[in-house]
């Protein structure tokens, strides 16, 4: 026995979904299985067994720092500074008052383990440099040197002393000996550090240089200490690390798995409930399509009672009724109760859609009912013989 279908409890979307599943249920289930396997594989590789990848990782083995400490001692009486006073860390000094710049260079390094032999020297370098950076001449004088075994975290110091008055005399002598004052004179204290040993498990052989600028001119000289410079020793190693995956796999995989499994569960549930459409439901789908297709041919009109008293002819579909209306040059009327009629001549041609209440009272198999009625009305053989 068929179940009545009303527009209020069965939507077109539901019916079309069932119709699609009825014809393509197997293909949909197969597709969902493929998606579930894909989502499961993505979830497994992203969260359970991501695997490993080989990368090159660079890490710092040691860090070294070189610094200059300096001061100039006042050696000549003057109205500002007392004789013997030490003027520390200035950038400008008076050559006639405190001509000698003295101090020390210190070097230390940090590392997790190891030991290094460090040789450090300080030298006075002065030279003539052109505007384009070309060096015309260079003079170099070693001031001090020291060699020591230095463990991580400790340092060593090397002294230096530069008499700026003497430096100016040597520059003048050099220029006079060359017969020309070509370029600009630069002077600086150069600290040269050579470090050898094993630090952090890695062999080290490194030479580092640091400079303290000394500029001469007129009755003053300037000191240009470098910014604190850190040097590092690095080690590059190849390691295997867990493979990292993007959000497409880490988030998309579980989401795809859950949705596909939910879809499979829905298909299974729908299969148990029955996907096959009844004759009534197929008629509803056909009617909904025809109603939308022929909407421009339909007018909504409230008919007078006299129109319904005409003899009525039933159309099997809305399409048939519209074709008849076109052939007779009449209009299709949709009444407030949901039926469709065409008034032509003395007849009322009517189509009752499958969503209409009149479908409820119609028998499922009209042919069988008619046969049974005919048999019941026909007299039996004995009655006819008599």
Tens-place pLDDT, residues 10-19: 455 565 665 5
Q: Is residue 160 part of a domain?
A: yes
Q: What is the predicted pLDDT for the residue at 377?
A: 42
Over 70: is that where the pLDDT of 352 sits? Answer: yes
The structure tokens listed for 196 are 């050898």
Q: What is the mean pLDDT of residues 222-245?
A: 77
- Same-domain status, 202 and 341: no
Burial degree of 357 (CB within 10 A; 0-12, 13-18, 19+): exposed
Name the pLDDT band for 374 (thresholds 50, 70, 90).
very low
Determine the average pLDDT of the residues in 310-321: 88
pLDDT in tens, 266-304: 667 666 655 566 666 667 777 787 888 888 888 888 888
User: 306 versus 81: which is more confidently predicted?
Assistant: 81
Shared domain for 147 and 198, answered yes or no, is yes
- Quick one: average pLDDT of 59-79? 91
Q: Are residues 64 and 212 in the same domain?
A: yes
Q: Are residues 216 and 363 in the same domain?
A: no
Does 381 map to a domain?
no
The answer to whether residues 115 and 150 touch, using CB atoms and an 8 Å cutoff, is yes
Average pLDDT over residues 178-197: 92
Q: Is the pLDDT of residue 135 over 70?
A: yes
Residues 225 and 256 in one domain: no
In a domain, 194, yes or no: yes
Q: Do 82 and 220 share a domain, yes or no?
A: yes
Residue 381 CB burial class (10 angstroms; 0-12, 13-18, ≥19)? exposed
DSSP string, 245-283: --HHHHTHHHHHHHHHHHHHHHHHHHHHH--PPPHHHHH
Does 287 fall in a domain? no
Residue 17 lies in a domain: yes
pLDDT band at 382 (very low <50, low <70, confident <90, very high): very low
What percent of the chain shows pLDDT beyond 70?
A: 78
Containing domain of residue 300, as a range? 294-375
pLDDT attached to residue 270: 63
* pLDDT at position 338: 83
DSSP assignments along 73-138, one per residue: E--S--SSS-TT-EEES-SEEETTT--EEEEEEEEEEE-SSEEEEEEEEEEEEEEEE-TTS-EEEE
Q: Among 193, 213, 239, where does a domain finish? A: 239
Same domain, 249 and 229: no
What's the rounded Cα separation, in Å, for the pair 91 and 89? 7
Cα–Cα–Cα angle for 199, 204, 208, nearest 5°?
Answer: 115
Q: Higher confidence at residue 118 or residue 295?
A: 118
pLDDT of residue 165: 92
Q: Lowest mean pLDDT of 120-129, 183-192, 284-293, 343-352, name the range.
A: 284-293
pLDDT at 223 over 70: yes
pLDDT, residue 17, reads 61
**Is position 250 within any domain?**
yes
Q: Is residue 14 part of a domain?
A: yes
| Average pLDDT over every residue of 69-74 | 95
- Residue 332 forms part of a structural domain: yes
Higher pLDDT, 284 or 129: 129
Same domain for 298 and 269: no
pTM value is 0.53
Same domain, 85 and 164: yes
The number of folded domains in the chain is 3
Where does the pLDDT of residue 245 fall: very low under 50, low under 70, confident under 90, or very high at 90 and above? confident
Residues 225 and 207 in one domain: yes
The verdict on 138 and 30 lying in the same domain is no
Mean of pLDDT over the chain: 80
Contacts by residues 323-326 (CB-CB < 8 Å, ≥ 24 positions apart): 324/349, 325/297, 326/297
The set of residues, in sequence order, having a beta carbon less than 8 Å from that of 258 and lying 6+ positions away, is 39
142 shares a domain with 16: no
């Amino acid at each position: 026995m068929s179940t009545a279908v009303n527009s209020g409890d069965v939507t077109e979307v539901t019916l079309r979904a069932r119709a699609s599943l009825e014809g393509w249920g197997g293909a949909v289930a197969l597709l969902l299985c493929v998606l579930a396997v894909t989502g499961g594989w993505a979830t497994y590789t992203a969260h359970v067994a991501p695997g490993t990848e080989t990368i090159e990782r660079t890490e710092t083995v040691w860090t070294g720092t070189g610094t200059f400490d300096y001061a100039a001692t006042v050696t000549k009486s003057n109205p500002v500074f007392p004789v013997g006073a030490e003027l520390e860390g200035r950038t400008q000094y008076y050559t006639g008052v405190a001509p000698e710049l003295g101090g020390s260079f210190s070097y230390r390094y940090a590392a997790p383990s190891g030991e290094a032999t460090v040789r450090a020297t300080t030298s006075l370098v002065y030279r003539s440099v052109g505007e384009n950076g070309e060096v015309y001449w260079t003079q170099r004088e070693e001031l001090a040197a020291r060699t020591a075994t230095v463990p991580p975290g400790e340092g060593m110091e090397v002294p230096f002393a530069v008499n700026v008055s003497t430096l100016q005399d040597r520059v003048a002598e050099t220029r006079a000996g060359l017969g020309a004052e070509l370029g600009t004179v630069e002077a600086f204290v150069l600290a040269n550090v050579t470090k050898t040993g094993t630090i952090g498990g890695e062999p080290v052989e490194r030479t580092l240089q640091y400079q303290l600028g000394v500029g001469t001119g007129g009755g003053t000289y300037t000191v240009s200490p470098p910014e604190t410079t850190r040097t590092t020793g690095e080690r590059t190693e190849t390691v295997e690390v867990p493979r990292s995956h993007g959000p497409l796999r880490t988030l998309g995989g579980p989401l795809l798995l859950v949705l596909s499994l939910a879809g499979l569960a829905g298909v299974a549930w729908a299969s148990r409930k029955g996907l096959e459409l009844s004759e009534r439901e197929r008629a509803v789908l056909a009617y909904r399509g025809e109603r939308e297709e022929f909407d421009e041919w339909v007018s909504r009109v409230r008919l007078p009672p006299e129109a319904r008293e005409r003899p009525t002819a039933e159309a099997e579909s809305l399409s048939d009724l519209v074709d008849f209306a076109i052939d007779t040059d009449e209009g299709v009327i949709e009444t407030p109760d949901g039926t469709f009629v065409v008034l032509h001549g003395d007849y009322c041609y009517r189509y009752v859609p499958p969503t209409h209440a009149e479908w409820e009272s119609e028998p499922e198999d009209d042919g069988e009912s008619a046969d049974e009625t005919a048999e019941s009305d026909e007299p039996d053989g004995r009655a006819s013989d008599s």
